[in-house]
Chains A and B, each alone.
Chain A
Amino acid sequence: MLKKLGIAVCASAMLTAGAIPAQAADKVADELEIFSWWAGDEGPALEALIDIHGKKFPKVDVVNATVTGGSGVNAKAVLKTRMLGGNPPDSFQVHAGQELIGTWVKADRMEDLTPLFEQEGWMDVFPEGLVKLIGTDDGIWSVPVNIHRSNVMWYVPDNLNKWGVRPPQNWEEFIEIAPKLKAQGVVPLALAQNWTANHLWESVALASLGAEKWDKLWTGELPFNSPEAVAAWDLFGKVLDYTNTDASSLSWQQATDMVVDGRAAFNVMGDWAAGYMSTTKKLKPGTGFGWVASPGTNGQFMFLADSFGLPKKSPNRDQAIEWLKILGSKDGSDAFNPLKGSISARTDSDLSKYNDYAKSASKDFSHDRIVGSLAHGVTANEGFMNDFATVMEMYLKTRNSDAAGKAMVSIAMKNKIGQ
């Protein structure tokens, strides 16, 4: 009896083992697996792209593999285990820039997309500064789908009138008006948990250093313990004096809420805050909420972008390339971005499809000086970003600029920044 059972089990195991590869082999020809962390609010935007692909290739079965979690915390871990296990998806979402280059290009896992960029004429429609930041000397590694701006300061115009202040042009002006706001019981600058401190730091550092020196930090030409870089920490410390004390227990939305509810005057946050305020809070861009480039960074566009790359050994390479073509096309990006609340990386997008904030951001993007964001993976690899979070925590506790500068030097060395 037992023996028979054993044989039956073995036989069925062999059957299924044999059956699965055969089925998969049939499907290979017309399948495309896309790996991303866009679910929930961002799901419809991705669906719009998949729809375009579906119209072009009705027979291809698109597998939409999403792993949820903000900024892809969980998705990235899953992707790493899949790649290490030799099971790459056909194309995956990744923050453009060093987050992609440091992790995947240096590991020789990506295909160079320069031929695709040339063939599709993208060299002319994407800004030059952008192409430089998402590539290396050896090639271009991903197709940017959207552009977000990091250095934006948000406020509510009516509240500012009530308190008798104007949006500051630079941090000196901010530090001048901040005591006036404090005297009226208003928090001058709303801040949330630690990653938003990183986010604020990059806007302050960009203002303190200027675009040239900011870029030089990341090429290794300007050391992190140079007087200029330490001065950025000093300025950051002064700005921190005017933020709320309960920052580390708030989410970024709660910090934005403080501005919307009139408990705080300003908030420096990426332009996903525009989507939050117009969609969730039902405020009208321009009148319900207002924005300027964060103090001292007018004319500079600190960007971050989601992009898709082509891993080597992608099981359905041809389809993956078709997918990338759609992402970079005008139709594709104009279908995706209005839904996602971001702007297109192309300089020729159809602005009538976008809201007022996006129109102004698009205009800035096409003529501003473009620099990369640290907090969102453009200028430094993941190892550095991870360690930077530690340096930031250290600084928030001790407020010691010199020590922060020194710690930055050692984490840059450890993570081979600018080498």
Chain B
Amino acid sequence: MREVSRDRIKAFLTLLPSIVLIGIFVYGFIGNTIWISLTDWGGVGALAEDPQISYIGFQNYVDLFTGFLEGRFRQDLVNAVYYSVLLLAGAVGLGMFIAILLDRKPMGEDFLRTIFLYPMSLSFIVSGTIWRWLLAPQGGVNILPTYAGMEPLSFQWLASKESVLLFNWQNLLGIILYIAAFILIIVGLLGLKRDPNRAMKRWILPGVIIGAIVWLFGDLLPQAMIMEEMHGLNLATLGIILATVWQYSGYTMALYLAGFNGISQDLRHAAMLDGASEWDYYRRIAIPMLKPITISAVIILSHISLKMFDLIFAMTGPDNAETGHPALNMYLTTFRANDFAKGAAIAIVLFMVAAMFIIPYLISSYRQQKGE
């Protein structure tokens, strides 16, 4: 018993320096940033030796989400959502596809694996510059068809001003409720097999009710802004998403390939003996077994897309509102416009969004550990 507690003390002492350092330099500064975001530090005189800072509560956040001048931030936030969703779909999908191909041990598998993984070793600035050239409207990808004697493409990759899937920011509240209803119904449908009664009561029914109420009485909800403001998926972001998927699908491929290799060949042979096709094997055995890998790929990719900065900077420059991202906006607001408080508020919003991805993951892995 005494041995154990001495060990514990030693362990604690060993950890103490890093606890203190992380406490100050990570959590302390997160706290400081939250505090700054609640003040009015910014504008003329912000860089004085002893700037006048006063507490203004959540005004900066209210401005960001409903202010007349912050439409750019809102579009950035919408962009960030699309960046995340499309990067996840693209990189996980493509990575898994390549991994399945390579898992069937084609000739030169080692070589191909290196080739697909290689883009990840490039810095975003380098790949961004290359992709900017490739996507230049007068050259690169657009003139590829001319080599086959066809007309060149005319899509204005990074310069497009078009957007699709438009929605009005005024109806923000209604949209959030729709999304909540959608998630509830999906969770319910997934759990339907295991426990139909519970799934109906706890998930599907509330989801349907919320959705129906918003659909019927949505006009009565308070509006987020006084005027109409449309946001959507800007087509100019597709080029950037393409570059990110190119860079990261090799990485997800490596993750899945490691997972596939870890599955015993006996399992595969057993499945085959039972009459499963290749497709059935992946669909019903291999991919479900790799759920932990899928989850960690999702976590890693989603926080990469939330911190995207250098790629966009290299591809479309700092001031392109079409392809903007909150991280870029935060840098410019803080260090160019000297609006430190608002920059801090943007940082905290991003931090919260990242937490939304990571905290459920931490909780579920903690639960798993306890369960074992």
Contact = CB atoms under 8 A, between A and B. Distances in A.
Interface of A: 73, 76-77, 80, 83-84, 86, 102-104, 106-109, 193-195, 245-250, 381-383, 385-387, 389-390, 392-394, 396-397, 407, 410-411, 414-416
Nearest to B158: A249
Contact of A246 (B45, B138, B332, B338): B138
Interface string B301-322: 0000000000000001111111
B338 A80 contact: yes
Given A194-B317, A393-B320, A407-B69, A249 B47 contact: no
Contacts of A80: 47, 335, 338
B136 A411 contact: no
A394 B337 CA distance: 18
Nearest to B71: A394
A416 B317 contact: no
Interface residues of B, number: 39
The 4 closest A-B CB pairs, nearest first, are A393-B321, A386-B337, A77-B335, A246-B137
Nearest to A406: B68
Given A73-B336, A107-B46, A193-B317, 15 more contacts: A76-B336, A77-B335, A80-B338, A106-B44, A107-B44, A107-B45, A107-B51, A193-B319, A195-B317, A246-B156, A249-B157, A383-B44, A387-B337, A393-B322, A397-B161
Contact of A383 (B132, B135, B337): B337
Contacts of A390: 69, 71-72, 321
Contacts of B266: none
B49 interface: yes
A104 B47 contact: yes
22 contacts: A76-B335, A77-B335, A80-B338, A83-B47, A107-B49, A107-B51, A108-B45, A246-B156, A248-B159, A248-B320, A249-B136, A382-B338, A383-B337, A385-B336, A386-B332, A387-B69, A389-B319, A392-B319, A397-B322, A407-B69, A411-B69, A415-B43
Interface string B328-341: 00011101111100
B242 to A, nearest CB: 14
Classify the secondary structure of A's interface with B: helix
A111 to B, nearest CB: 14
Interface in B227-269: 236
B150 interface: no
Nearest to B333: A386
Contacts of B51: 107
Contact of B318 (A73, A104, A108, A416): A73
Contacts of B45: 106-108
Contact of A248 (B316, B335, B336): B316
Contacts of A195: 317, 319
B43 A416 contact: yes
Contacts of A407: 68-69
B44 A381 contact: yes
A414 B319 contact: no
B316 A102 contact: no
Given A393-B322, A410-B68, A386 B159 contact: no
Interface in B34-69: 42-49, 51, 68-69
A108 B49 CA distance: 8
Nearest to B137: A246
Contacts of B339: 383, 386
A245 B156 contact: yes
Contacts of B322: 248, 393, 397
Nearest to B336: A386
Contacts of A248: 158-159, 236, 316, 320, 322
Given A246-B137, A249-B157, A194 B320 contact: yes
Nearest to B332: A386
A253 B364 CA distance: 52
Interface string B136-170: 11100000000000000000111101000000000
A109 B321 contact: no
A80 B336 CA distance: 9
Interface in B110-150: 132, 135-138
Nearest to A194: B319
Contacts of B49: 86, 107-109
A416 B44 contact: yes
A195 B332 CA distance: 14
Nearest to A397: B161
Nearest to A389: B319
Nearest to A254: B136
A410 B156 contact: no
A414 B339 CA distance: 11
Nearest to B315: A249
B146 to A, nearest CB: 17
Nearest to A193: B317
Nearest to B43: A383
Contacts of A382: 336-338
A246 B331 CA distance: 26
A387 B72 CA distance: 10
Contact of A108 (B48, B68, B137, B158): B48
A343 to B, nearest CB: 28
B249 to A, nearest CB: 24
Contact of A109 (B47, B69, B338): B47
A393 B72 contact: yes
Nearest to A383: B337
Given A193-B320, A386-B333, A246 B159 contact: yes
A106 B331 CA distance: 22
Contacts of A194: 317, 319-321
Contacts of B320: 193-194, 248, 393
Contacts of A393: 72, 319-322
B135 A249 contact: yes
B72 A107 contact: no
Contacts of B236: 248
